[in-house]
Amino acid sequence: MRTAGNFYIGPISEDAWWLLKAIWKWGLALQCDLARKHASELALLASQGWCSTVDPDGRTYRNRWRITEAGILMLKNKDMLK
pLDDT of residue 23: 97
> How far apart, in whole angstroms, are the C-alpha atoms of residue 50 and residue 66?
9
pLDDT at 70: 94
pLDDT of residue 10: 72
Q: Per-residue pLDDT tens for 1-58?
A: 454 555 666 789 999 999 999 999 999 999 999 999 999 999 999 999 999 999 888 8
Give the residue from 58, 74, 62, 66 showing the smallest Cα distance to 42: 66
In angstroms, rounded to a whole number, what is the distance separating the alpha carbons of residues 67 and 82?
Answer: 16
Comparison of pLDDT for 61 and 2, the residue scoring more: 61
